[in-house]
Structure 1
Amino acid sequence: MKDPKAEVIHYLKHDRTLLGGRNLYNQLPTKNLALQRQMARWTDSAINIERLCYELAKAVGLEQRLLKIYTQNPVVQINAIEVDIDTDDTGSKDDGTTLDDALLAFDTENTKWNTGKALAKALGIKTSRRKKNEIWPDLEEARRALVAKQLAEIPGEVKASIKLRDQFPFLREKDCPDSLKLLVNELITSYEDFKDNQPKLHDLLQDDEAKALVDVVLKDYIENKQAWAELEHYNTTGQVLGEHPLFEILEEKERITRLETPDLAKEIKNLENNIGRNKKKGNTELVDKQEQYLAHAQAELAKRS
Structure 2
Amino acid sequence: MKTKDKNAVLELLASHPKAPKARYKGLVEKLKELDGATPSQKRFYNAAMYSPVNLEGLEYDLKKLCGITDREVKKLVSANKQEVKDLDVIVELPEEIVERLKQVNLEELNYNSELKPLAKNISEALGVEPTSQKKVDLIAFIDGFIPKEPTQEELATAFTEALSAAPEDVKQGLKIRELYPFLNDDDCPDEFHTLTGKMVSAYINWKEGREELKALVEAGVSNEEIYAIANKVVADFKLNLDCHDELTHYQEHKQILGKHPIFAEKMLEEAVNALGTVELTKRQKNLRSYISRDQKAFDKMDDGEAKDKFGEKLQTWKDELNLVDARLEKIS
Shorter chain as normaliser: what TM range?
Answer: 0.3 to 0.5
Higher helix share: 2
Q: TM-score, normalised by structure 1?
A: 0.40
TM-score norm. by structure 2 comes to 0.38
